[in-house]
Amino acid sequence: MANTYTQIHIQAVFAVQNRVSLILPTWKDELYKYITAIVSKYEHKLLQINGMPDHIHLLLGFRPTQSLSDLMQEVKQDSSKWINSKGFVKGKFSWQGGYGAFSYSKDQVPRVIHYIQNQENHHKKQCFLDEYEDLLKTHEIEYDKRYIFKPIEE
């Protein structure tokens, strides 16, 4: 795409199936490197990745050579296969269906990077579902609570 110039910054958020806390510190960094490689393979730039045992945040410098839904499908599908092939969890690992995606201007990027870097501290004060709903409300996205990430099944 010669002579195409873009500046698109997207934060994507997605959760482990049923929001079970399966992402362990012992392999979290390997997972983040693997996801970074997937994003790079499609020529996007991963600006920040971090999360909690039950979900992940990505901040992307996104290129319009691929749809966001296709990229997220690749990230979730490939990383699930990788986690399962490594045997990091008992049973089968999968990501929950769907994701949140939020756009930011260049001047907001440092704040979003800081926010993603500080997930552990942030979640001492707020649970994931409240965080996710706040993102939806801040970005004025209409949603139905019935279809937000499934709760942990007991």
Q: What is the topology classification, in CATH, of domain 9-147?
A: Alpha-Beta Plaits (3.30.70)
Domain boundaries of the chain, sorted by first residue: 9-147
pTM higher than 0.85 for the full model? yes
Q: What is the tens place of the pLDDT at every residue in 28-87?
A: 999 999 999 999 999 999 999 999 999 999 999 999 999 999 999 999 999 999 999 999
Looking at residue 147, its pLDDT comes to 75
What's the chain's length in residues?
A: 154
Over the chain, what HEC string results?
A: CCCCCCCCEEEEEEEEHHHCCCCCHHHHHHHHHHHHHHHHHCCCEEEEEEEECCEEEEEEECCCCCCHHHHHHHHHHHHHHHHHHHCCCCCCCCECCCCEEEEECHHHHHHHHHHHHCHHHHCCCCCHHHHHHHHHHHCCCCCCHHHCCCCCCC
Q: What is the tens place of the pLDDT at every residue in 88-145?
A: 999 999 999 999 999 999 999 999 999 999 999 989 999 888 899 999 999 999 988 8
